[in-house]
Amino acid sequence: KNQVEQSPQSLIILEGKNCTLQCNYTVSPFSNLRWYKQDTGRGPVSLTIMTFSENTKSNGRYTATLDADTKQSSLHITASQLSDSASYICVVSAGYQKVTFGTGTKLQVIP
Partner 1 sequence: DTAVSQTPKYLVTQMGNDKSIKCEQNLGHDTMYWYKQDSKKFLKIMFSYNNKELIINETVPNRFSPKSPDKAHLNLHINSLELGDSAVYFCASSRGRSGEQYFGPGTRLTVT
**Residues within the interface to partner 1 (CB under 8 A):** 31-32, 34, 41-46, 49, 87, 89, 93, 96-97, 99, 101, 103-104, 106
Residues contacting 100, CB < 8 A, separation 6+: 2, 3, 4, 25, 27, 91, 92, 93, 94
Q: Is 46 left (phi over 0), alpha (psi -120 to 50) or beta?
A: beta
As measured in angstroms, the least distance from the Cβ of 96 to partner 1 is 4
- In the complex, the smallest distance separating the C-beta of residue 31 from partner 1, rounded to whole angstroms, is 6
Q: Cβ 16 to partner 1, closest distance in Å? A: 26
Residue 32 or 74: the one with the smaller Cβ distance to partner 1 is 32
The nearer residue to partner 1, 34 or 109, going by C-beta atoms, is 34
3-state helix, strand, coil in the chain (%, to 5): 5, 60, 40
Residue number with CB closer to partner 1 (9 or 16) = 9
